[in-house]
Structure 1
């Protein structure tokens, strides 16, 4: 008997805990709305009582709430929910003031400010150590409500096609037609994409963060997409909807407080600031629950302006008084599947509906569950060694151990069907082309082509067309030969080189390299050793108005090794024959010399995060500060014509304060001893030096108002400061714009300029320019900057001091 009572008690408890309770209130008045219907996918779950409360059970993630005389809304399912509905009558005064006002509620802003101020203390990173596991799933599919409609439409469409007379088609067109039908059929029972990942996150204040990918699987691919493994969420970061710099993009309203699991929470509703009319202003994009005791985030839901475009929901859980992310759900519309069709009769009322059925929205669905939380874990240095992310398994064999929700029939079919499609169409190779391009590579089978070498431009070569091919890990895991060839249309000369990398291990970056080269470069160009793809793109236009180039031919042997996740070393020895390609005479010794030199390069990125992949190290998160150092030593005793020592350093950092985001770049160089001008330092000017409008493209270390190829020093120090004004606003389309203030300066000297017999000037006073950049100018992917030269080198003429500069936004500061 006691056993039966215990089972009955357990059953009751489980049912109670599985229940959800929603309270529906009138927005502004905070009074209950009785008889409000709560439904899921058209199925009625119940109606609210006289107190506006309904308890129900459902497996749905969201429910729709409707009431007569009110705008309908939706709520994310949780144990305790509260929803405010706005009246449909525009003349109603019950929500005037705070709700109709186009200004945020000061009380809501004060709470959000405390969320930001306390975020670091509330973050798990403020603990000495912790660990937890995660299960994440990403899929690409129709919305669930559209699947049945799509199946019906496709069945009707295929039946109609069978009735059409057979047409004569070419082999290719017939093949395309068959493949098109196969893809349409595939989508009836299977998703188009499915990826699962299980991971363990460990953190130590002493050793940092380590992520172990316990297992993962991608439908249709033999190898995982390593770039996807680095996908980030709201874990350990402030959601963009409440970041201080984004406050102008939304309007926030404190509606009330509510108890969740015995803790008081403030409820803040928000909407986008660009809602224009009163009806829109009664609608909200989402809500924020803030814990009243700690001002930690409990939950945030953010919806698109159009309900069909998607939503993002994140939920946190307090553990040891720190707020850990517990669950996330993303639904983002990514285009639509459209079928061509013709109306049968324009006068028929259902023609519009029939036309709508020919377009089905495609969505990316992302879900993540975090569990098995532990604090004050044992901290062993070896557990945190290596790169930030390590991959233990990638075949999906043990995923079932970590799944927090079983796969649906549609998801199971995705693996079965998409795997066969991936094998048939070689999706691995095609996807590698896309991911390779993100790193500056164009992958074709066993060969990687350097995207930066395809087309260049400078004043000496004009347009430079080239191809740089390197055999990748598919050819051999340890040996990677490469070669390049290029042609300059202005100097009418070929350039070429050969090389080979010999890896010593596959666990990290560690390889020897031998190479031969015959090429040209700008005299005095700052070293770009170990720079990443974005930095090199940013600096690729530095010689657009510089024709001071030199030719070099020789051999180099080098070795590169990641001493740790954050420190990289490269050492090299080279023997070159060098010759000026402009009118130049060094110390009456001519313009052609022999050079034997060694070089040491160090890169230190203490906060950047990387992982090892079969194609090499992938830095998936570039964080600042970063330090770059080069030391070159010319040796006359080993066949060179000169003894000289050259040092250069680059330090860059970016940090955020209440005043906005500031980026800083400090760089400099020093040459000791005798060396030709190309071993000195060119002060990078981007201007054309002509009496016309100065328009140029940005560079990493260049000056918009300075004439190119004019200044050279044997010692210098420069800086680049940028500050993003914390005011963001919507522009054309869905782009968000802002403004950056920029200040650049440089100074230095040259000890014996007279030994360099060519036309140039040393820069021995401060050269300064200030500027203002408009980010995402007119909704484009470009930043448009306006710069003005000030200080010692300014001239009385406005046009000579002024420059306009264009920059790709994705390049960063």
Structure 2
């Protein structure tokens, strides 16, 4: 009887020990999975702080080599508030840049956060970002290498993120910026001429994913099946005389992307981006069409790195618009099985853009054209030849075909390795 009792006790203790070991292994497995998931998004995670790898090393034509450090606190630090910041230094312009901010969670179920940020940095002139765009990280940001036209900005902002519906993510932001172009530029308006200016804006953005599937996991909305098309909308209002803002204007931005996977393991993707700006809008807040061709004489002098969704034969600062539409189509063929580790992929690409600008004479000091006819380029990429590197070829044709034949060609390398 006693022996039986002892055996039962031993079994219970042994079973508890085994269960504890299993639970510990499961926790370790989850921790490792979370670590590598964050690493894939560009964060090196420590106990309380996630270092942001995108700040480490960058290069562009204005700053030259740019080194920095930054990151954010994680859930171990706090589940209801977060802090973020970065510091960077450009060795060519010999100037420091930095940002600091924080957020407070109002609702876990709806992933509602209110954020405050202060940024003193550079921004590419003519770029227009969507508030709700998901983060993309790559070891190397291809198009950034070739950018030369930046403006300095000191921006203070307050924003609210909110999952309005499972399929609808929203973000609202109010910001004020002090803008100083790094190039010779004067914006002529009825109220005077400006080469430096203050801009206050209110922006509302939304990303709608009507065909994706979502689940409520641990009181959080998680996307469990990524489906297309997706739609992104954004409206920005320039608030004249608010916080000494100089201009009154409005901007409407739209983006949609679609992917179709074929049965033969090939993939076709479509990306359409459009924008419209009305009112007194300086060049800094207008649109380019994602150009990525540097102004050099020969093809080999222009041999740099191709972007992910950029026009490879469109020269930097060649076109600006206050209204534009771009359409890009890519067809990814099934990867070639040449060897166990050598599996290159051929991608067929076609890109088109059209736009225009009213009162182009108001933008003085910088010469550029408008896209009042259709810009066309087509080409192909051979990706993943070695260590994520490949080659890109594109040809410019149609209304903006250039007189010198070789000026219409783009020959670059690609880099598509992400963690």
Q: Show the counterpart of 1:471.
A: 73
Give the match for residue 688 of structure 1. Answer: 294
Deviation at 1:565, TM superposition (A): 1.9
> Which whole-Å CA distance do the structure 1 matches of 2:79 and 2:182 have between them?
40
Any conservation in 2 of the 1:500–1:514 contact (CA below 8 Å)?
yes
User: Kindly tell me: are residues 697 and 614 of structure 1, through their superposed partners in 2, closer, same or farther at Cα, counting changes over 3 Å?
Assistant: farther
C-alpha distance in structure 2 between counterparts of 1:713 and 1:674, whole Å: 13
Structure 2 runs not aligned, ≥5 long? 1-14
Residue 514 of structure 1 and its aligned partner are, at CA, apart by 1.3
Tell me the residue number matched to 1:434: 36
Shift in CA distance, 420/559, structure 1 to aligned 2, threshold 3 Å: closer
Give 1:697's aligned residue. 305
Partner residue, 1:665: 271
Deviations 1:737-758 (A, max 9, x none): 4422110011111111111112
Larger radius of gyration: 1
Matched, 1:556 2:157: yes
Listed as ranges, the gaps of 5+ residues in structure 1 are 1-410
Q: CA deviation at 1:443?
A: 1.0
Indicate conservation of the 8 Å contact 2:117/2:158, yes or no.
yes
Deviates more, 1:731-740 or 1:699-708: 731-740
Given the superposition, is the C-alpha separation of residues 658 and 498 from structure 1 closer, same or farther in structure 2, using an over 3 Å criterion?
A: closer
SS of residue matched to 2:39: helix
Partner of 1:281: none
Structure 2 counterparts to residues 138-537 of structure 1, below 5 A: 417=21, 432-534=34-136, 537=138
Q: Aligned with 2:146: secondary structure?
A: coil
Deviation at 1:417, TM superposition (A): 4.7
> Which secondary structure state, in structure 2, belongs to the residue aligned with residue 531 of structure 1?
coil
What residue in structure 1 maps to residue 363 of structure 2?
Answer: 756
Q: 1:509 to 1:430 in 2, by over 3 A?
A: same
Counterpart-to-counterpart distance in 2, 1:737 and 1:586:
48
The aligned counterpart of 2:177 is 576
Q: Is the 8 A contact 2:130 2:205 kept in 1?
A: no
* Contact 1:539–1:698 (8 Å) recurs in 2: no
| Higher strand fraction (1 or 2) | 2
2:93 and 2:215 map into 1 onto residues whose CA distance is 42
What SS is found at the alignment partner of 1:712? coil
Q: What TM-score do you get using the length of structure 2 for normalisation?
A: 0.85
Q: CA-to-partner distance for each residue in 1:494-551, whole Å, 9 max, x for gaps?
A: 11122111111222321111111211111111214222233x6499433422221111
Q: Is the 8 A contact 2:140 2:415 kept in 1?
A: no
Note closer, same or farther for the CA distance 1:567–1:676 as it changes in structure 2 (3 Å cut): same
C-alpha deviation, 1:809, in angstroms: 4.3
Q: Secondary structure at the match of 2:107?
A: coil
529 and 700 in structure 1: CA distance in 2 versus 1, 3 angstrom threshold: farther
SS at 1:561 equivalent: strand
1:774 CA drift (Å): 2.2
Q: Is the 8 A contact 2:387 2:417 kept in 1?
A: no
2:348 alignment counterpart: 741
Q: Point out the structure with the larger helix share.
A: 1
* CA pair 809-552 structure 1, distance change in 2 beyond 3 A: closer
Give me the whole-angstrom Cα distance separating, in 1, the residues matched to 2:321 and 2:76.
46
- Whether contact under 8 Å (1:543, 1:686) holds in the other structure is no
Query: What TM-score do the two structures reach when normalised by structure 1?
Result: 0.45
1:785 corresponding residue in structure 2: 392
Cα distance 1:713–1:554, how it changes in 2: closer, same or farther (>3 A)? same
Change (3 A) 1:454 1:607: farther
Residues 606 and 626 in structure 1, CA contact (< 8 A), matched pair in contact too: yes
- Among candidates 605, 608, 620, match of residue 212 of structure 2: 608
Q: Contact 2:70–2:86 (CA<8 Å) still a contact in 1?
A: yes
RMSD of aligned residue pairs (Cα, Å): 2.9
- Tell me the alpha carbon deviations over residues 441-465 of structure 1, each in whole angstroms, 9 at most, x when there is no partner: 2211111122222222221222221
1:400-441 Cα shifts (integer Å, max 9, x gaps): xxxxxxxxxxx9997655666799xx7766654322112222
Of structures 1 and 2, the one with the larger relative CO (CA 8 A, separation 6+) is: 2
Structure 2 contact 109–221 (Cα < 8 Å) conserved: no
How many residue pairs get aligned? The number is 396
